[in-house]
Structure 1
Amino acid sequence: MGPAGYEFDDAVGRVDRDALWAFLSTEAYWGRTRTRAVVDGQVDGSWRVVGAYETASGRMVGFARALSDGVSLAYLADVYVLAECRGRGLGVGLVDAMIERGPGAHLRWMLHTDDAHGLYRRFGFAEPDSRYLERPKNYRE
């Protein structure tokens, strides 16, 4: 159940890969360096995906995916809502569907983002503590 006129679905077969590719390759600051093959592989290799869809047309207007071992931790990635659909609670709905209403509700969640901190804080995300270390992607360069 989502905002009026929208629904959330975790069926990977329903994901509009053309729409996903269009957004990630042109709109998302974090996704513009990926190829279409990489994006398709990421969808296929994800532990779970959630799409936000217009109920009347079925058009995908938002998306989120997660990586997980399904036991103790999960990583939230590629969360977006199309610009013309923002401000309707779809971002909140996507994150809620992914981390609170699915099989990962009991997991420790992580993410990286340069924006939308307020959205993620609503779900308990915060800066890591002194126990958290991360190896950057290109640390040897």
Structure 2
Amino acid sequence: MTYIADDDKSRLDRDWIWRMLSTEAYWGLWRKPADVDVQIGTAWRVVGIYEEETGAQVGFCRAVSDGLSFAYLADVIIDPGHRGRGLGKRLVRAMIDDGPGAAFRWMLFTQDAHGLYEQFGFGPADRSAMIRASTF
């Protein structure tokens, strides 16, 4: 199977994104469909992964940024039926290394995918970073 990465917001399958984020994403199960629509609409950039033959969406991530120096990577998700094919790496590479934010300072939160993100230069926060935890 062949896949393509695309950053065109109009191509996103919002029903698929909602289904994945509401059933597969431990990090944001509190969100409602309207919340996800707002997050997509206000995202600095989004990237989807699609089956080339059918056009079906199988991956998604979004970023929030000032567009100049830093970005936050969020909602990185691959459909369970397509995992194990390197699509997570492809998705993160398309967002971070191949996009307009390649030189930015990137940040993210994860409980279980440290190995994936370490391949792209992510590591523990340095002494210049502080975090205020959410109340969700």
Flag whether TM exceeds 0.5 (same fold): yes
Equivalent in the alignment of 1:136:
133
State how many pairs are aligned: 136
Letter in 1 for 2:133: P
Tell me, in whole angstroms, the C-alpha distance in 2 between the residues paired with 1:31 and 1:11.
Answer: 23
Tell me, in whole angstroms, the C-alpha distance in 2 between the residues paired with 1:47 and 1:129.
Answer: 24
- Is there any run of 5+ residues in structure 1 with no aligned partner, and where? none
Runs (4+) off by over 2 Å: none
- Does residue 74 in structure 1 map to residue 71 in structure 2? yes
Per the normalisation by structure 1, the TM-score is: 0.93
1:27-54: CA deviation from partner (whole Å, max 9, x where unpaired): 1101211000000000000000000000
Correspondences of 1:27-42 after superposition (within 5 Å): 27-42=24-39
- Does residue 19 in structure 1 map to residue 16 in structure 2? yes
Letter in 2 for 1:13: S
* SS of corresponding position for 2:60: strand
Correspondences of 1:1-141 after superposition (within 5 Å): 5-138=2-135
Letter in 2 for 1:101: D
* SS of corresponding position for 2:26: coil
Letter in 2 for 1:9: D
Q: 1:138 deviation in Å? A: 2.4
- Is there any run of 5+ residues in structure 2 with no aligned partner, and where? none
Tell me, in whole angstroms, the C-alpha distance in 1 between the residues paired with 2:74 and 2:42.
Answer: 12
Per the normalisation by structure 2, the TM-score is: 0.97
How much is the aligned-residue C-alpha RMSD, in angstroms? 1.2
